[in-house]
Structure 1
Amino acid sequence: MATAVGATPPKAELSKEDETLLILARLMEGGQEDDETIRDLGQLTKLLNEDSQIHQPSKGTAASAPSICSVMDADCVDTMLSYLDMRQPEAVRGHAVLTTAAYLKAAGDDGANNLSSFFLDRVRRGTYDDYILAFCVAASTFPIVPDLTATLFLSEGFLAALGPLMRRKWKSRKVETACLEMLNAACINSACREAVLKYCADWLEEVVDQDPDQVAREFMAQDPDSSGASSVTMRRHSEAVQNMAAVILAKLRAMPPSAASLDDQASGRQGGQSQSQSQSQPQERITPAVTTIEDLSSRFTRMLLREDDNHGTPHSIEGLAYASLQPKVREDLAHHQDFLNKLVYTLSNAQPKSPLTYGALSILVNLTRYQPTLSEEQKKMYQLKAYANAAGKIRQDPLLDDEHVGERCRLVFDAGVTPVLLSHSKFASPASLGLIVSIIFSLSVTTSVRGKLAQQGAVKLLLSAWHALPESESASRRTAAQALARILISTNPSLVFGGSRSHPQSSAIRPLLSILPPDPAADTRDLLPTFESLMALTNLASTDDADTRRAIIRTAWPHVEEQLVASNALVAKAAVELVCNLVQAPEGMALYADGSAGAKNRLHVLLALADAEDEGTRSAAGGALAALTGHPGVVRAIVERDRGVEMVLGMCGEEGEDLRHRGGFVVYNMVVAEGEAGAMARKKIRERYGVEVLKKAAKMSRRGEVVEVILEALKVLLEGGEGSGGS
């Protein structure tokens, strides 16, 4: 078909390679508006991600087209990486990070080699511009390819040259800032962190401790005519640079290196000292830190509390996120009311999924974190290690005990953190949501605040978090479920849920059920989540909500039944208390009364629990039997069960009034049962000296309702009739 006169001929569809080259050509040319650059970087990221998926190695298949990375030579890679420069707009730099990540994934070994060549070449050139770009690229790629970037960072001679570079008389503040960004990112790697401590700690101390006014005075004394000199001319560090250096020092202080690296660090600081000298003076080998973690914490706290310093807030939050790993810092921060109020305020105004949000949440996690509960075996191993280290006993910082942590949790809760956490949970990333759940989990340990947590929306938060967290975040999901269980144990479910359509009472069952079995990922079995889950389900089943009981029976019954015979007495007691509530529903009654072999076995277990050692277990089992014996099928099964009647009469001989009451009620239900089941029960109870047992029980009892039910049962037995003896 001919093209009409004046019409534009259709544009041929570009290949992926040509499209890539066109984008790179525009990026190389520069001079674009920021939004145009962002658009090109975004399109290049999309092409690289698609290319990565197409060329993923698979069994017996090969990609039909070459990778677009094959057209990206060293100049193209240089152009892409140049957009990581700190002098680029923040939005452009952020998109360049995504493009770089996509390229390194798609290009594989070639991408790693190109990144290495770029970094080493720039460092080798040694101009300020080259240093800035090399440092910015390293800072950006540490989170993307940490192992590769760490190898470049630890290249021979690289770190050793940083100190002299930063101490130059004529320095570039941008080089200094870029270097600090790189060191800050490098601290995520333990080997790099130890290297920074060895080669850069002294310089970082100088930066942090520098008094700007003192520097200015000294400079003016040397050159009185330089009144208009800039801070760079005077070799004065900016406050932003000092703050960033303080953050790096906090990371070094909060995460101390291994013993081996301390030896390396000490030998590196000895300089010209001979080996024999260092061996003869081992105590002087390690130079003590000038700035302590407490000093850094105080600095960050002052930064945060300054109302006019919005730029310092990210540094103060990041620094405190690491400083608060130390028990003394946690204690000081928690008792600083102004700090807590400002931290909660900062979190409330932070953007979702931002570093500021994650840092603030990390501080709150550190302030509220309890020490993990150790099993007996773990305690013994810990003690053996303590003896091996010549400590002689287990030494735990007293600020980490439950009493101190509980007080810190109370202070954090009183600062009004719960509504802010609820607000952030709606838009949080999985990582931030995990931190939010951990904070609520710690706060829920304190029984007295559980009701207030529920009032402030913690139940809704935990339910939403459990459903929102992916399956891969199993630890956070279990934490959310256990925190939910604790709150529901101590609150009235009817008030908590209040007829909510979005979160009905039954919506809590699945999360609670998820922690009923032991954690498959744990090395040791922790029965506390199981116990708390059973207790919470018991509280839910105690309400008048028939749907909740049915849902528990339908979804959780096999797990509940398994816990009835648990070796742990508290778990077994909690399980039988739950059963006591569940059998109030027709579906629960049917599990014991349908005459099947399974029903008879269940009843056998319940009768055995009525004779258990634990009084609470016996009481719960008695309550369940009191409900079940209203059904003739259950009465018949008890009579037919070997020693079934003896176990029931045994409850009537209990010392506790409540237990005698339940026992008397079971006997009453059995003797007044209609038909053959009632006749069999009356006969068997008489044969087992039931009259005498009941008379003795009546004499022992002081409460009117107990005496009344026992006497009613006695009346039926003494009448001697074979029919119903109801009263």
Structure 2
Amino acid sequence: MSQPAKAEFDKPLSADPQTTSLSDASLEDQVLLLLARLMEGGQEDEDTCKDLNTLTRLLSEEENIKISGDKKPLFQLLDADGVETILDYLDMRQSPTVRGHATLTISAYLKAADQLGVDYLTSFFHSRVSKGTYDDLILAFSVAASLFPVVPSVMAKLFLNDGFIVSLGPLMKRKWKSKKVEQATLEMLNAACIDTACREAVQKYCTEWLEEVVSEPFSSKDMDNVLSSSPGGTAPINPGSVQQRMHCEQVRNLAAVILAKLQAVTSAPSAESEERVQPATTSIEDLSDLFKSMMSTEADQDQHNAIEGLAYSSLKPKVKESLASDHQFLVSLIKTLAAAAAKSPTTYGALSILMNLTAYMPALSEEQKRLTQLKAYANASKDSLKPDPLNDDEHVAKRCQAVFEAGVIPVLVTHSQHGSVASLTLVVSIVSSLSKSPKIRGQMAQQGAVKLLLHAYSVFPESNIPARRTTAHALARILISTNPLHVFGGTTPLSLVSAIRPLIMLLEDDPTVEQRDLLPVFESLLALTNLASTDDSARNPIIRLAWQQIEELLLSNNKMVTRATVELICNLMQSPEGVAKFADGGKQASQRMHILLALADAEDFATRRAAGGALASLTEWDTAVNAILERERGVSILLALCREDEEELRHRGVVCVLNIMTAPGKVGEWGVQKVRDQDGVEALKECLKKSRSQEVLEITVEAVKLLMANQGGKKEITNG
């Protein structure tokens, strides 16, 4: 370990840095004390992590701290030796906990120090690699593996530096051997795959070696007994010896993960990509089988590698089918997820696998399909132009059913309460895919899916529109197929009103897409209609919050959207607030009534039925009756419903007609006169002839009697 620079640490802070109280020191002294303790080393991991945490906090909070006078920023207290001290704790031979805390510390430093930190990091990496001893290489590669996710552009530049990856040739050719160096190299290559250019370099120069590592089984002898690290940096091995061919199991597994990444995440073909050392001979399916077998081991690292490998290999359709058809594997995966910490790589990896298995292909417009085909022609062979049939909706639906039957929903509910936003996004994506299957929606609701989605919607920030819309869409699907009283009633703490805002969001345009998808709009309307079937505690919030969108959608060019909107209005008319929208006597109310009457005369049967139902409710109010009578064709449209061939429409029509004629006072008298003038008697007689429902017959007879009585005489009424 390097010693601290005297210029920074020869200050009379304390005779023993271990006993110095940080709370009594200035910020500068706190940083120097922490560095001194970290440089000295020899602490328990718990104490080391505490010091690293404190240093991370000080560096992160510096932007909010005003440093007075000529005092330098805190990050400047870390010179090259200080930075090296932190980087030393990224060594793979340190405990995972220490490495994790050190990664946070160096991340905070690099953010604060900017280019100065990059210069120190670059100098450190080049220096260690150029020395070439086992210890130096292990540390350099460990640092690269830890920092690729933190500063990918900086690490990619070092990785792609001329000659670096080629310099790994002696390792790949087995001219010298160390299990730890090999493992550190693979960890670095694994992390480097996060960058496209680095991944292509790994594919070009390292595939042959990776294939060899995976294909050669591990010897039962402990590699540490075969070969130990050499202080001088190299340990020559005779070409072709048993020692040269053996790999530890952990190394083999890590190599398999890298191969899975190279095969699963493909890049656009280029001239250079054709110069690979050797094409992959180990198929992605073979790698998947290897990862599945690794899942059954008790070693945490093996399980971690298996999860990571499957997260990539499960992007391929054949692997998806294989995994989804293995019930025992799915149960094991979900069990692993249930036992994993909320914010851990295992959790994120397992959720990624489940998302890959359940993800539907995005619905494309005709224009998008043409563009996709053009890109395929430009980038690939004709064989790749056809979508893989294993990704069609039928196959995905079966995979979703298999994942659901393995018991995934309760585990997702638990993880949704404590996970990160990233993992919650995956959870919602999985639930959204499962919700496309109508037959399991009720069970999903029983197992807590509605609670999960409402929580997720409240957690996602408003700026995260895609996640919120996906959440709302999944909620809409489930609420279409379930009884709201079963979901929100009884002892459940869920509020029915809490589901309304997410559903209303779907009625609005999505600003993140160029072309509007009307399916979420349609399904949201159906869900709101279901909620509005309960009572006014649901209807009134919908009216207050969504009426503007409802009116706009009533005039949609899409027949299905219009129909669903009218059906929602039909249920909303059970509330006085809904009736007031059509019957408050104002100009807007009159215009709305005009539109509703026109929809009662639409070509679509379901639209006419819903509009007729709304009018049947509205005509119970004399102000609404008056608005209908003011319309020239108002009564004739209602009488046309009475002549329909479908019993449901005749029922609605005759209820409206009777309500008009029995309205109180002059409105009712006007109603009778207009029904008579529009040949109402003949329309009602025709209704009698066509109807078989006792209720419809009774209402029609009553309406005819009322018309006859107002004519001053009675005529015999028959049922044709």
Deviation string 1:649-669 (CA, Å, 9 cap, x unpaired) is: 221222211111101110110
Moved more, 38-47 or 694-703: 694-703
Distance 1:652 1:323 in 2: 62
1:539 alignment partner in structure 2: 530
3-state SS of the aligned residue for 2:543?
helix
Alignment of 1:358-377 (within 5 A): 358-377=348-367
Question: Which of 634, 641, 652 is the equivalent residue of 2:631?
Answer: 641
Distance 1:70 1:386 in 2: 52
Deviation at 1:268, TM superposition (A): 5.4
1:423 aligns with 2:429: no
Moved more, 243-252 or 454-463: 454-463
Deviation string 1:281-322 (CA, Å, 9 cap, x unpaired) is: xxxxxx43111101100111111134x444411111110000
Deviation at 1:351, TM superposition (A): 1.1
1:206 aligns with 2:196: no
Question: Which of 556, 562, 568 is the equivalent residue of 1:578?
Answer: 568
1:240 alignment partner in structure 2: 250
Does the Cα contact within 8 Å between 1:297 and 1:329 map onto a contact in 2?
yes
Equivalent AA in structure 2 for residue 582 of structure 1: L
1:454 aligns with 2:445: yes
Distance 2:376 2:341 in 1: 45
1:529 aligns with 2:540: no
Deviation at 1:234, TM superposition (A): 5.7
2:28 alignment partner in structure 1: 17
Deviation at 1:334, TM superposition (A): 0.5
Alignment of 1:172-183 (within 5 A): 172-183=178-189
Question: Which of 425, 429, 441 is the equivalent residue of 1:438?
Answer: 429
Distance 1:324 1:496 in 2: 34
Distance 2:338 2:222 in 1: 39
Deviation at 1:376, TM superposition (A): 2.0
Question: Which of 689, 696, 703 is the equivalent residue of 1:699?
Answer: 689
**Kindly tell me: are residues 265 and 688 of structure 1, through their superposed partners in 2, closer, same or farther at Cα, counting changes over 3 Å?**
closer
1:250 alignment partner in structure 2: 260
Deviation at 1:14, TM superposition (A): 3.9
1:225 alignment partner in structure 2: none
1:411 aligns with 2:402: yes
Question: Which of 36, 46, 60 is the equivalent residue of 1:35?
Answer: 46
Does the Cα contact within 8 Å between 2:409 and 2:444 map onto a contact in 1?
yes
TM-score (norm 1): 0.89
**Kindly tell me: are residues 216 and 428 of structure 1, through their superposed partners in 2, closer, same or farther at Cα, counting changes over 3 Å?**
closer
Distance 2:22 2:415 in 1: 48
Deviation string 1:537-568 (CA, Å, 9 cap, x unpaired) is: 1001112x321111111212221122111111
Distance 1:311 1:259 in 2: 34
Distance 2:494 2:381 in 1: 55
Distance 1:390 1:199 in 2: 25
Distance 1:186 1:266 in 2: 20
Deviation at 1:118, TM superposition (A): 1.0
1:685 alignment partner in structure 2: 675
Deviation at 1:267, TM superposition (A): 3.0
Does the Cα contact within 8 Å between 2:216 and 2:245 map onto a contact in 1?
no
1:596 alignment partner in structure 2: 586
1:121 alignment partner in structure 2: 127
1:264 aligns with 2:254: no
**Kindly tell me: are residues 382 and 63 of structure 1, through their superposed partners in 2, closer, same or farther at Cα, counting changes over 3 Å?**
farther
Does the Cα contact within 8 Å between 2:174 and 2:244 map onto a contact in 1?
no
1:7 alignment partner in structure 2: none
2:60 alignment partner in structure 1: 49
Distance 1:431 1:493 in 2: 30
Equivalent AA in structure 2 for residue 449 of structure 1: I
Deviation at 1:692, TM superposition (A): 1.7
Alignment of 1:159-308 (within 5 A): 159-213=165-219, 233=243, 235-260=245-270, 263-267=271-275, 269=277, 287-306=278-297, 308=298
Deviation at 1:212, TM superposition (A): 3.1
**Kindly tell me: are residues 393 and 567 of structure 1, through their superposed partners in 2, closer, same or farther at Cα, counting changes over 3 Å?**
farther
Moved more, 465-474 or 316-325: 465-474
2:116 alignment partner in structure 1: 110
Does the Cα contact within 8 Å between 1:45 and 1:103 map onto a contact in 2?
yes
Moved more, 602-611 or 471-480: 471-480
Equivalent AA in structure 2 for residue 266 of structure 1: E
1:284 alignment partner in structure 2: none
**Kindly tell me: are residues 465 and 24 of structure 1, through their superposed partners in 2, closer, same or farther at Cα, counting changes over 3 Å?**
same
Deviation at 1:500, TM superposition (A): 4.3
Distance 2:263 2:406 in 1: 28
2:610 alignment partner in structure 1: 620
Deviation at 1:638, TM superposition (A): 0.6
3-state SS of the aligned residue for 2:342?
coil
1:155 aligns with 2:161: yes
Does the Cα contact within 8 Å between 2:556 and 2:562 map onto a contact in 1?
yes
Does the Cα contact within 8 Å between 1:368 and 1:408 map onto a contact in 2?
yes
Does the Cα contact within 8 Å between 1:171 and 1:232 map onto a contact in 2?
no
Deviation at 1:486, TM superposition (A): 0.6
1:98 alignment partner in structure 2: 104
**Kindly tell me: are residues 214 and 291 of structure 1, through their superposed partners in 2, closer, same or farther at Cα, counting changes over 3 Å?**
farther
Equivalent AA in structure 2 for residue 659 of structure 1: L
Deviation at 1:693, TM superposition (A): 1.7
Question: Which of 328, 338, 342 is the equivalent residue of 1:352?
Answer: 342
Deviation at 1:332, TM superposition (A): 0.7
Deviation string 1:395-436 (CA, Å, 9 cap, x unpaired) is: 111101111111111111111111111111111111111111
2:700 alignment partner in structure 1: 710
3-state SS of the aligned residue for 1:655?
coil
Equivalent AA in structure 1 for residue 135 of structure 2: D
Question: Which of 663, 666, 670 is the equivalent residue of 1:676?
Answer: 666
1:226 alignment partner in structure 2: none
Equivalent AA in structure 1 for residue 451 of structure 2: K
Does the Cα contact within 8 Å between 2:214 and 2:256 map onto a contact in 1?
yes
Distance 2:221 2:395 in 1: 43
Deviation at 1:166, TM superposition (A): 4.1
**Kindly tell me: are residues 104 and 311 of structure 1, through their superposed partners in 2, closer, same or farther at Cα, counting changes over 3 Å?**
closer
3-state SS of the aligned residue for 1:411?
helix
Gap runs ≥5 in structure 1? 1-9, 57-61, 221-230, 270-286, 723-727
Equivalent AA in structure 1 for residue 28 of structure 2: E
3-state SS of the aligned residue for 1:237?
coil
Equivalent AA in structure 1 for residue 261 of structure 2: K
Question: Which of 559, 562, 570 is the equivalent residue of 1:569?
Answer: 559
Equivalent AA in structure 1 for residue 184 of structure 2: A
Distance 2:420 2:245 in 1: 42
Distance 1:205 1:351 in 2: 33
Equivalent AA in structure 1 for residue 394 of structure 2: E
Distance 1:382 1:325 in 2: 19
Deviation string 1:93-150 (CA, Å, 9 cap, x unpaired) is: 1111110110010001111111111111111111111111111111111111111111
Deviation at 1:617, TM superposition (A): 0.7
Does the Cα contact within 8 Å between 2:217 and 2:247 map onto a contact in 1?
no
2:5 alignment partner in structure 1: none
Moved more, 96-105 or 653-662: 653-662
Gap runs ≥5 in structure 2? 1-20, 227-240, 713-720
1:378 alignment partner in structure 2: 368
Q: What do you get for the CA RMSD once the two structures are aligned?
A: 2.5
Distance 2:594 2:629 in 1: 11
Equivalent AA in structure 2 for residue 132 of structure 1: I
